[in-house]
Structure 1
């Protein structure tokens, strides 16, 4: 891990340093990821808002996604990591919560009031529990998101296979998730260091995003193209 304080000390004016190139690049990539995260799930939010269709979307996938992101944000705050190394997670959390609300509104039949309260209380409890975890156990936090993330993504992957469609999932959203995870591997090493917990979670996230991307390409483009070609032959 390179020293951000040394490389980004502009008290005497900006002076380019070759030994700080890694920090400059990581900061730039972090800012790009942060900006890009504002549009990460907007296509999916727009698709649901305009079509009012949530068929094929897994509620448990959204819930566990929110829980995993909450823990990630809390861990980075507690560790004092640079905002550019995890800022996109804050934006993603807000977008995930919006998606949950849309899912509740447009699901048929909709969830009961009790189930919605239970989900809200659970997510709030996860946030509070993570904040008050003793310092010597905080390294466990990123690892706890691993089963949540795997379950979340696998639930969606399995749902895609079952319905043979990716529903309202956006190729742009999935591509940004994949690209962001790959870029975040690099910036984590430079800005945070070899945090094995964070790198493991990010690496597996990239792999699962790649599977989802493959499903979108297969079901939305390849399958439809084959069906269209066969229709032309008839």
Structure 2
């Protein structure tokens, strides 16, 4: 049957997928010369695999958190300020990666994390009896992202946003960690979501080094990993603690 090239036995339909993981010369090294121990190409291959694995995982990484809120019919213990800052950080990463034409495998999960984080923010509003405010929140966010992803956005502004992202991402996690500490409980935080975010941010350090070499992006993921680790430890520490009234979310309206 038809081959990807005269010098390889890889079928065309499969070669296209493999070139996503081993682009350019690395495809020849692996599937023409069958040299699977070429170190530079091996690093690229591992980075690509991790990147796409993270993106696939991002489809559902916050679904357990969303399900937990829906099941409990409460956003107790989830800091809206923390969620908003996290959304800003995710969005900055998304816009910066797209604006600088980085490989999608290096930032693609930001798209799906942004969607799920927006849903979480809306649910916090919704279960606090403030549905209208939640709709406004989501609408404003969509409008802002439309601008950030448009050709009209200055590249310099994206750089400033990414630089600020280093601190915003960490600060958002610190707020949630403080919320957990003051409540002596992690409330409705999902252990699956927290640990997936922790592992994903750790893996992103390696993929960012390999695929972007951007110091701001790498620094952002390093700090994010540390902060995610703190919250992950809190989940274990407060595992058997009874939930208490949240102090950092939104006060529910009383009639």
1:76-91 maps to which residues of 2 (within 5 A)?
76-91=97-112
The answer to whether structure 1 residue 113 and structure 2 residue 113 are counterparts is no
Structure 1 unaligned regions, length at least 5 = 225-234
Residue among 116, 126, 131 paired with 1:95: 116
Query: How far does residue 101 in structure 1 lie from its aligned partner after superposition?
Result: 2.0
- Tell me what 2:84 maps to: 63
Q: Which protein, 1 or 2, shows the higher relative CO under an 8 Å CA cutoff with sep ≥ 6?
A: 1
The answer to whether structure 1 residue 152 and structure 2 residue 180 are counterparts is no
- Tell me what 2:222 maps to: 203
Residue among 233, 239, 242 paired with 1:220: 239
Calculate the TM-score normalised by the size of structure 1. Answer: 0.82
- Tell me what 1:45 maps to: 66
Separation in structure 2 between the aligned mates of residue 130 and residue 148 of structure 1, nearest angstrom: 20
The structure carrying a bigger helix percent of its residues is 1
Cα distance change on mapping 1:187 and 1:122 into 2, 3 Å: closer
Separation in structure 2 between the aligned mates of residue 9 and residue 103 of structure 1, nearest angstrom: 51
Cα distance change on mapping 1:84 and 1:158 into 2, 3 Å: same
The answer to whether structure 1 residue 134 and structure 2 residue 134 are counterparts is no
Calculate the TM-score normalised by the size of structure 2. Answer: 0.76
- For residues 101-142 of structure 1, give each alpha carbon's deviation from its aligned partner in whole angstroms, at most 9, with x where no partner exists: 2112212xx337357525642563365257534334543331
- Tell me what 1:166 maps to: 186
User: Once superposed, what is the RMSD of the aligned Cα atoms?
Assistant: 2.6
Separation in structure 2 between the aligned mates of residue 205 and residue 101 of structure 1, nearest angstrom: 23
Query: How far does residue 146 in structure 1 lie from its aligned partner after superposition?
Result: 2.5
The answer to whether structure 1 residue 74 and structure 2 residue 109 are counterparts is no
Structure 2 unaligned regions, length at least 5 = 1-21, 243-255
Determine helix, strand or coil for the equivalent of 2:60: coil
How many residue pairs were aligned? 217
